[in-house]
Structures are given as C-alpha cells and as structure tokens.
C-alpha cells in the first residue's frame, strides 16, 4: 500500500477504491482483527453422534435373556390339521370377506404353522404387484395363528417386516411361522413368505412380539354391534373362536 494511505476498516460506509479516500468515520474506527478460521474444521453445531450398530440396539421383538422355549399345548391341533376360519369377518382368514386374504393355515411340527394365500387383483399396490400392507397382513395373520398351538389368547404388540422382493398378482405365497420364545405374557415369533411354495424365492419375512390378553380385551374395545353379533351366534364353537385369535 502506498505511504500515507489508510485502508478502510471492514464495514466502512465508503470503501477505499479507485483512489477515493474512506470517510473520516471509517478512518478513525479502530480496526479489529478476527482470528483465522480453519476450513478443515468449520464452525457449527456439535456433530450428532453416529448410532451404534443395529445388533447393539435392543429390539422389542428380541427375546430377553430369561425367555424360555415355547411348549406346544397337549390339546393343540395335530400337525397337518387345517386350522380353519376363526371369524367369518376376519380380513385375513374370514370366508365372508369378499376381498380378504382367505388365508388357509395348518398346524406344523413343534410350535409352528404353515399357510398360503393367492394374491388377487384387489390386493394390488402398484400395477400388477401386491400391496406391502397386504403382505404384512398375511405375515401377521400367520403369526397370530400360532396361538392355537398354545391354546391362549394373544394380540400383536409389534411387527417388524422386511420386504425382500416384489410379489406379482396371481402369486401363491407360501408362509411359515413359528414361536421362538416366551417371557411371561410376551410371545416371540418369526415368519417368512416364499413365492410359489416352501422352497421358492424368499419374498417377505417378519419378527413379532405378541402379548397374552383376556377375552375382555375384545369385549371392552370392539364395536358393540359386532361384539353382540358374535356373542349371539348359536354355534358355540364359532362363538368361542371369534375371540381366540386377533392378529
């Protein structure tokens, strides 16, 4: 800078440029030097810590350390026996639901069941493909059917679903579900769905937590007209089954 010339302070009202002098106010203002800012570590809010690996975070569908293996009830349906509809209006298995899944489940070995349903046009999400919610419902219905093998009443507490591949309309989806552990009122289970048969490509899978309840759970919370109609059914077996499974 040539002698006798003074640079304007930052923020001056008249900048020194092209030979023009700064205003007296700018010249007399004390100069403040800012500390250099490192571009390698720019200022900003404290970084959010990265979450730990999924395996390190406990999940509600992971059995606790004190869980025990499930025990098949001595009066449970025999392996291979068709479980049938538990409630005619059930979207999962009910025969009176025009666009329901009409899922047919059979008792399996141990504490497991197998089931299957065919994806219909009414089950579409994207053109020609099953809606993800319908596939989750099929898994949930299969998992709920496991309670027949314990002869207890339980409802879904949590369902975690993985969608592995698209499922086209017209597909026969083969499902298998099994109970893995019991901890008090909590039942832990898993299920999978395969395209075309038990050895077909894996399409969906789920892990679930079910919670044992009393029949009052349905009577106290269901809509009165459906509750009254189910309880008025002259068929004692159908009347009981309507409240025994609620995926």
pLDDT at 58: 62
Q: 114: Cβ–Cβ under 8 A, 6 or more apart, which residues?
A: 105, 106, 108, 174, 175, 176, 198
Low-confidence ranges of the chain (pLDDT < 50): 3-27, 30, 32-56, 247
> What mean pLDDT is reported for the chain?
79
CB 81 within 8 A of CB 87: no
pLDDT at 116: 94
Q: Domains (ranges, CATH) in the chain?
A: 104-241 (3.10.129.10)
Q: 91: Cβ–Cβ under 8 A, 6 or more apart, which residues?
A: 97, 100, 101, 137
Q: How far is CA 117 from the centre of its chain?
A: 21
pLDDT at 88: 80
In angstroms, the CA 62 to CA 180 distance is 10
Sign of the C-alpha dihedral computed for residues 136, 139, 142 and 144 taken in this order:
negative
Judge if pTM exceeds 0.95: no
In angstroms, the CA 211 to CA 56 distance is 24
pLDDT at 57: 54
Q: Where are the alpha helices (H) located in 98-186, listed in sequence order?
A: 132-145, 147-150
Hey, what long-range contacts does 63-69 have (CB within 8 A, 24 or more apart)? 63/180, 63/181, 63/183, 63/188, 64/183, 66/183, 67/181, 67/182, 67/183, 67/186, 67/188, 68/181, 68/182, 68/183, 69/180, 69/181, 69/182
């Amino acid at each position: 800078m040539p002698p006798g010339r003074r640079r304007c302070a930052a923020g001056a009202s008249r900048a020194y440029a092209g030979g023009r002098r700064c205003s007296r106010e700018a010249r007399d203002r004390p100069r403040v030097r800012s500390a250099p800012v490192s571009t390698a570590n720019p200022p900003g809010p404290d970084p959010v810590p990265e979450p730990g690996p999924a395996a390190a975070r406990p999940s509600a569908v992971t059995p606790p350390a004190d869980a025990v293996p499930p025990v098949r009830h001595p009066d449970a349906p025999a392996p291979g026996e068709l479980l049938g509809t538990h409630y005619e209006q059930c979207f999962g298995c009910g025969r009176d639901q025009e666009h329901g899944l009409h899922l047919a489940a059979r008792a399996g070995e141990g504490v497991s069941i197998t089931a299957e349903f065919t994806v219909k046009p009414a089950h579409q999400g994207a053109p020609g493909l099953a809606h993800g919610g319908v596939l989750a419902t099929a898994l949930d219905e299969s998992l709920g059917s496991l309670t027949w093998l314990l002869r207890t009443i339980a409802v879904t507490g949590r369902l975690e679903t993985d969608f592995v591949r698209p499922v086209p309309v017209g597909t026969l989806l083969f499902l298998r579900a099994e109970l893995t552990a019991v901890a008090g009122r909590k039942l832990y289970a898993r299920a999978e769905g395969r395209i075309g048969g038990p050895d077909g490509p894996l399409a969906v899978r789920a892990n679930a937590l079910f919670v044992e309840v009393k029949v009052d759970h349905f009577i106290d919370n269901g809509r009165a007209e459906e509750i009254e109609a189910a309880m008025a059914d002259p068929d004692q077996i159908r009347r009981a089954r309507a409240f025994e499974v609620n995926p």
